[in-house]
Amino acid sequence: MERPYGSYAEVLLKQRYRPGGVIGRGGMSTVYRARDEFLGRDVALKLFGAIPAGTDSAPVFSAELRMLAGLNHHGIVTLLDAGIDDSLPDEPHPYLIMELVTGTDLEKAIAAGGFSARGIAEIGYDLAEALEYVHSRGVVHRDLKPSNVLLVDYGANTLRTRARLTDFGIAFDAAAALGPEETNTTGTAAYLSPEQVLRDLVGPASDVYALGLVLLECFTRHVEYPGDPSASAVSRLKTDPSVPDTLTSAWRSLLTAMLRRDPAARPPMRDVLLALRQIIVDDSGRHRSRPEPIRIDEPTRMAAVRRYEPYVEAGHPAFERVANIARRIADVPVASIGIAHEDEVRFLAHPGTDIDRLPRDETLCSGVIADDEPWVVENCALDPRSSENTLVTGEFGMRFYVGVPVRSPEGFVVGVLSVIDFTPRTMSDEQLASLVDLASVLTDELELQVAIHPAEADPETLPEPSAGAEPIADSATPVLRFPQAV
């Protein structure tokens, strides 16, 4: 049972923390404003219900509280201390001492007005970053909801409002220690994951689902599964959340993935973080702030492609060797060297797959050519550049893609060196730089194939460099630049 508030006026927890007024109440705890008498500062004291007499749960609580107090991340409200109040020996109360944060919570902010898509992405990014850290420490929040998210305004025009996570799922462990089976379904009913409702194993994927519901609510401004706790909890087992068609494809793909009923089908929090980062980058206009790539008209680019056509042969050992080196550099199962024709991409080498050509609009190569720069897609199912591509949504199941332009000496993108994996992942800057170098080796190999057929070359088919393009100064001697291309 909860101790009467008046009895705490004389309590000094750990001979240091003096409780003051109540600032919040939850299902299993009460939050007090308290005074740290030793450091002379205000803190937040979260006091849980008493451990029932006769149970041997104090050691369990002590271990859990020490673990939670060890969390240290800018995206979570700092846990400063933890312990068990045993001032009444028959009614020990676990408690947390937390940083006292001033600011409104997300629930109130949603009720007060809507957010921009960019603002929602920033809130989601802050929370995903914090949750990824928490999961890496072996902790699952289990009770993520808008009221557990504090929005902190630092009062500087150059700093945006930050979302900080609070109210960790110690209540779940407390309920488990109390014993009755019915208490094991913990958390707020409207934000429970399906596995929590079914009392299955709860892990990081449950937090992914809850974060999906929170972000969805930021857009719709209504609780997706309202009603009394029982009806709310069961409804998600019958109907999937409704993601508005008005959202961008990036948001629809991300929320749909996060809100899948099967926890194994949801993306890990790391992928959610990367997807939200990409949404923020796209919205920020950074791509528009870069210099526009030199626009090369398609007929001129195709003239550069046709120059190589008589001399390049699919399956040539040199191309197979380069593609396999790319696989080893990226540590992936599939690599390809594609030459981009008008309506299809023909692969000179494709170790790891039997696909030897594809319609150009069904590949990601066309995007690499249009942007005239490497593409790194860490999770194809969540990245708006790839989420609706048939290689991602279909049986092939591509989940990671990197494409590097292969240019002619005049600067025309004639093809793409690609590496592919079937699980989301990242690529280091060193790996990407190696692939860019390897694409230059491909240029030299293509030039070498033309150079060893001088009598067949037709100078009139050579394209003129486009305005502003910088030709490669030593393109006439590829063997000297890259002897390994021989």
486: tokens are 């021989």
The answer to whether 151 touches 104, Cβ cutoff 8 Å, is yes
Q: Which amino acid is at 317?
A: P
Q: Residue 290: which residues within 8 A CB-CB, separation 6 or more?
A: none
The answer to whether 111 touches 174, Cβ cutoff 8 Å, is no
Which residue shows structure tokens 């990601």? 364
Indicate the burial class of 47 (C-beta count within 10 angstroms; 0-12, 13-18, 19 or more): buried
Give all strands (DSSP E) within 294-441, no chain letters. 334-340, 344-349, 357-359, 375-377, 400-407, 413-421
List beta partners, residue 95.
47, 83
The secondary structure element, H or E, covering residue 152 is: strand 149-152
273: tokens are 């973080």
Q: List the one residue out of 481, 418, 417, 416 whose CA is nearest residue 447.
A: 481
31: tokens are 């939050």
Active site residue 331: no
How many Cα atoms within 13 Å fall on the side-chain side of residue 348? Answer: 30
Residue 238 phi, psi dihedral angles, 5° rounding: -110, -35
Q: List the one residue out of 209, 75, 201 whose CA is nearest residue 132.
A: 75
Measured N-to-C along each axis, helices 429-451 and 298-308 cross at an angle, to the nearest 10 degrees, of 70
3-state secondary structure of 255: helix
Question: Which residue in the list 143, 173, 383, 444 is annotated as catalytic?
Answer: 143
- Alpha carbons 160 and 125: distance in angstroms, whole number: 13
Indicate the burial class of 295 (C-beta count within 10 angstroms; 0-12, 13-18, 19 or more): exposed
The CB density around residue 360, as the number of other CB atoms within 10 Å, is 17
3-state secondary structure of 53: coil
Torsion of CA 115, 118, 124, 125, to 10 degrees: -150
Which residue shows structure tokens 């190696």? 434
- Alpha carbons 95 and 47: distance in angstroms, whole number: 4
Sign of CA dihedral 96, 97, 98, 102: positive
3-state secondary structure of 211: helix
Could you give the residue numbers annotated as active site? 143
